[in-house]
Structure 1
Amino acid sequence: MLTSVQKEILQTLINLYRNSNGKSIKGEEIAAIMNRNPGTIRNQMQSLRSLGLVKGVPGPRGGYKPTIKAYHQLNISSTGRETAVPIYRGGERIDDLSVAKIEFTSIPDPGECEAAIKLVGSIKKLDLGDRVRIGPTPVNKLIVDGVVVGRDDMDNIILLDTTAIRSIPKRTVEEVATHELVTLTPDISVKDAAVKLSSLGIEGAPIVEDDEVKGIVTLSDITASIAEGTENLPVSEIMSKNIITVKPETMISDAIEIMNKHNIGRLIVTDSEGKLAGIITRTDILDSIAGLD
């Protein structure tokens, strides 16, 4: 039975080793993270070595490495082939921190659902009260939103008071995208484009010429142009030319990641020949998740 200090040392060693590209970890590195005396770490390492949980590496570049038994002891996968499940705070992904296990502790109670999240990495990056998002997980594409209400540094577990639990459907962009598109020509004026988009109740449209997508314009672009008094310019002057496209067979979970990466709300769908085949928006995806389409 490991002591709390031994568990914390072992967890810290594994966290550091996962990001070291196979290099051994020095006791001083562990001591600095744990805010403990290096001598204490060395003494505890002797016990961990005798238990077969740690192996020492001699020499000037030496240090310590966790054994397979160490991963099993802490119930962590040791294959190195698992897909990293991300954790976000304030919309920003937390580097060097991923999810190893999600366990719902009170899901039968609809008014009070908590989740215990076992993490790989230093959970000291998280504080009580932080609003976080877990996922999506690789298979079921599960996403969990919640507030951190507990933190167990010894077992590397945080406790979430969940605010939302949802699973992204295993559907392709082609199944969700809009295929009957409204398009604009490059020479249409900003003013006329505003009238057209507003009358149809849509937020944006691709700019197409000779079956080729030249750009995309949104109501935000148009509003900014009108505010600057340039509503008589052709939309080609204000459109975004940095077009992000996806193929029809792209999974919507991947489409979400692309939108988040580029901070955009819509993607152009193109066929195998690069021609316009549709458009998918955040609203389309949300409706799919909610089962509204």
Structure 2
Amino acid sequence: MSKKVVAVTPEAGFKEIAAVMGRWKVTAVPVVERDGHVIGVVSEADLLPKEEFHDHRPGLVEQMRRLDDTAKAGSDRAADLMTSPAVTVRPAATLARAARMMAEHRVKRLPVVDADGTLKGIVSRADLLKVFLRSDDDLAAEIRRGVVERLFPGSHDAVRVTVTQGVATVTGQVGDGHLIPLAVRLARAVEGVVDVRCRLRASAPAVHRS
């Protein structure tokens, strides 16, 4: 997340909000009370009805169908323009969870708040994509350390992990074949991994002859 966040108060006017977005090149800003609590978010979509209905007076049917938009077209304060409650995320949330929330709520940015709802930062789509800039060597080291060595302590030396363009290939023999599906899931969950190709196989059990 980015800890440097531009926000507005509920009393901020329409032009002030538009100017802040333009100056900082953002598409949405959190609306915070004086104690830092996030109470909503104003996005470009919240401001557009003002322009849309600037020279067009909606009919009764259109007003009823688009109550929120027509109300925002006649508003000029953040408190009336914002979408509330804000969709927020905690600092400890995984990037995968943040991505799911953005997709589910169709938003481009999420304010990051603590347990009290106080603004701590903001995470954007660009922040989520940064994980895919991790080097292949870094990803391979994390898969080996956090997955292979943890799940297969007795046979991890027989496992080879390579990563090319974010795609991990795990090859070798392991003692417990039942853990192979779990290893694939954990490797795929490593932030920055694009895909996992599993070529692990279980060691043949020893045959005891009398």
Question: What TM-score results when the alignment is normalised by the length of structure 2?
Answer: 0.50
CA contact (8 A) 1:225 1:238 kept: no
1:194 aligns with 2:37: no
CA contact (8 A) 1:189 1:231 kept: no
1:265 aligns with 2:108: yes
1:183 aligns with 2:7: yes
Task: Give how far 1:272 is off.
Answer: 2.9
The number of residues matched between the two structures is 116
Match of 2:206 in 1: none
Over aligned residues, Cα RMSD in angstroms? Answer: 2.1
Match of 2:64 in 1: none
1:7-26 matched pairs, under 5 angstroms: none
Match of 1:204 in 2: 28
The amino acid that maps onto 1:199 is: R
Query: What do the CA deviations read for 1:87-125 (whole angstroms, capped 9, x no partner)?
Result: xxxxxxxxxxxxxxxxxxxxxxxxxxxxxxxxxxxxxxx
CA distance in 2, matches of 1:231, 1:289: 43
Structure with higher RCO (Cα < 8 A, 6+ apart)? 2
Give the unaligned 5+ runs of structure 1: 1-176
Match of 2:131 in 1: 288
Match of 1:253 in 2: 96
Task: Give how far 1:223 is off.
Answer: 2.4
CA contact (8 A) 2:39 2:85 kept: no
Match of 2:188 in 1: none
CA distance in 2, matches of 1:186, 1:262: 22
Greater share of residues in helix: 2
Question: What TM-score results when the alignment is normalised by the length of structure 1?
Answer: 0.37
Task: Give how far 1:227 is off.
Answer: 2.7
1:228 aligns with 2:71: no
Q: 1:252 to 1:214 in 2, by over 3 A?
A: same
Secondary structure class of the residue paired with 1:188: coil
1:73-152 matched pairs, under 5 angstroms: none
Q: How high is the sequence identity, in percent, across the aligned residues?
A: 26
CA distance in 1, matches of 2:100, 2:26: 23
1:238 aligns with 2:78: no
CA contact (8 A) 2:41 2:86 kept: yes
CA distance in 2, matches of 1:281, 1:225: 25
Give the unaligned 5+ runs of structure 2: 55-72, 136-210
Task: Give how far 1:186 is off.
Answer: 1.1
CA distance in 2, matches of 1:201, 1:276: 20
CA contact (8 A) 1:189 1:232 kept: no
Runs of 4 or more consecutive aligned structure 1 residues displaced over 4 Å after TM superposition? none
Query: What do the CA deviations read for 1:133-165 (whole angstroms, capped 9, x no partner)?
Result: xxxxxxxxxxxxxxxxxxxxxxxxxxxxxxxxx
